[in-house]
Copies of this chain bind each other. A is one copy, B any other.
Amino acid sequence: MVDILHRVGIKSSVGQVYEALTTRAGLAAWWTRNTQGEGQKGGSIAFRFSAAGVEIGGFDMRVLEAVPAQHVLWQVTDGPEEWIGTRIRFDLKQSGAHAIVLFQHQGWKAPVEFMHHCSTKWAVYLMSLKSLLETGKGTPNPDDPHISGDGAD
């Protein structure tokens, strides 16, 4: 099992970051505009991505844990085969004026090339989360920076 790890510090409160991780409006403003569902514990969230106006896939998550200002844990229930069963965890802590986000995408079966891609792409989306909270504007899909040469990603 291998994990994707990231860390960003955001000039914000952990409460505000938690809101961006657990509300439809918050998630839609940094990860993907096409977000549906319920981000509280026990909820399910459907994230869908598009390129040139065409939907290209996405992920369904079950919210296993959501503790205000502390952490959020999702389990991937549908999406690319490599993602199914993996877990995505955000741990939050306040450090002075900054909310520190420790991110883990846990439980990949193998360090395949797609995992390399997703690691870089998660960093880009976490920078979008940071931008959203610090400037009021994120870059959720379909406005996300492209990182690969394979079309929409």
**Residues in A lying within 8 Å of B, measured CB to CB:** 2-11, 95-98, 100, 102-104, 111, 113, 115-117, 119-120, 123-124, 126-127, 130, 145, 147-150
Contact = CB atoms under 8 A, between A and B. Distances in A.
A6 B120 contact: yes
Contact of A7 (B3, B95, B120): B120
Contacts of A115: 5
Contact of A147 (B5, B9, B96, B117): B9
B7 A5 contact: no
A86 B96 CA distance: 32
A67 B45 CA distance: 45
Contact of A120 (B8, B11, B104, B147): B8
Contacts of A130: 147
Query: When A and B form their complex, which 10 residue pairs have the shortest distance between CB atoms, in order from nearest?
Result: A98-B149, A9-B149, A123-B123, A7-B116, A9-B148, A7-B117, A5-B116, A6-B120, A120-B123, A5-B119
Contacts of A10: 149
